[in-house]
Amino acid sequence: EDLIEDDETPVRWFRANRVKTTAAKVVEELSHLRQVFSIEDIEKGTIYHDEYVTDLFGIHPREDLVSTRLYKAGEVIIQDRASCFPAFILNPQPGKDLIIDSCAAPGNKTTHLAAILRNSPESVIAFEKNKERAKVLEKMCDKAGGLGCIRVQQGDFTATNPEEYPQVTGLLVDPSCSGSGIFGRAFEENDAQEYTEERLKKLASFQASIMKHAMKFPNARKIVYSTCSIHAQENEQVVVDLLLDKAVQKQGWRVCNRKDVIPSWPRRGLVEEFSAMENPEACAEGCIRTMPKVEGGIGFFAIWGLDGVLLEVGID
Ligand code: SAM
């Protein structure tokens, strides 16, 4: 923890785990902390209730959270704001939606889905290809109290037959990526060779293949795509690749409008990356980018919806 420079993580983010508690109860238990209303005002002894993601809080990194009862009981879960965006944007409804988390371990977003779904029984199927990571995922879901809601499925998501999942209404696609956004890794010279054009191309094609599979689920209406990469190759360019794909067009998938994707969030996709599209601005506006420091971690997010389907996104 001490290796992380303070100026890189001016905020420690955590969310009230709605499977086990409520935001109000968490605030009450942390009532020794003074509430502040801007991230810039966070210092030791204060707490900030996020304006974008419901149930999310920020405190000073030197504030002790890990040894509190709340943390040990799994009533709060430490998770960067950027990592909270996908499940929040997907906004599944308890008792109505069945969600596939296609690339789930270690399970931050899976357990967040369970919280948003208020632990509604059997509402999330969480795929994880890697055996060891699937065990970690199971453990995390258990600690969060979400195993009544989440079914962990060890295996390759792309090997599933979508026709066998007619009840699935939404998917979260958070595939392996270069991770170039994690604490500015890409900016460190020694790591530059990790981000060769060839490697990024391979990753992008893998990411698009997971998305294309997700788009085959017959009754899916929403899909959130996310990475923790800063590279357009894995972000906007994957979106363009999908938008230009004939099969995807035939299925009717489109990138949603800004109004569906946290409209008040200022940093959107890179417009110049959509120059091949008819309306580059609209495409870019439908995507979100986040940066470290006060923005709460790096990420890229795009929500896809079916033509003509009205989305209620991020309303909790
Ligand atoms: N969503 C996770 C979270 O928020 O905690 C992080 C997911 S991580 C970026 C990507 C994960 O996808 C890895 O654990 C990887 O093993 C898994 N994965 C990669 N390809 C997969 C596939 N075809 N099917 C299922 N899981 C896959």
168 and 265 fall within a common domain: yes
138 and 154 fall within a common domain: yes
202 and 239 fall within a common domain: yes
Q: Is position 219 annotated in a ligand binding site?
A: no
pLDDT digits (tens, 9 = 90+) for 2-46: 444 445 557 899 999 999 999 999 999 999 999 999 988 999 999
Q: Relative to the CA of 177, which ligand 1 atom is closest?
A: 9
- For residue 152, how many C-alpha atoms fall within 13 Å in the half-sphere facing its CB? 24
Q: How far apart are CA 60 and CA 280, in angstroms?
A: 39
Give domain status of residue 315, yes or no: no
User: 253 pLDDT exceeds 60?
Assistant: yes
Residue 62 domain boundaries: 12-78
Name the closest-CA residue to atom 14, ligand 1. Answer: 105
Q: How far is the CA of 102 from the centre of ligand 1 (A)?
A: 7
Q: How far apart are CA 174 and CA 171, in angstroms?
A: 10
Tokens of 176: 């392996």
163 and 202 fall within a common domain: yes
Q: Is the ipTM of this complex over 0.95?
A: yes
50 and 94 fall within a common domain: no
- So what's the pLDDT on residue 2? 40
Which residues of 204-267 form beta strands (DSSP E)? 222-227, 253-255
The number of folded domains in the chain is 2
**Rounded to two decimals, what is the model's pTM?**
0.92
Q: Is position 161 annotated in a ligand binding site?
A: no
Q: Is position 96 annotated in a ligand binding site?
A: no
Q: Relative to the CA of 108, which ligand 1 atom is closest?
A: 5
Catalytic residues: 228
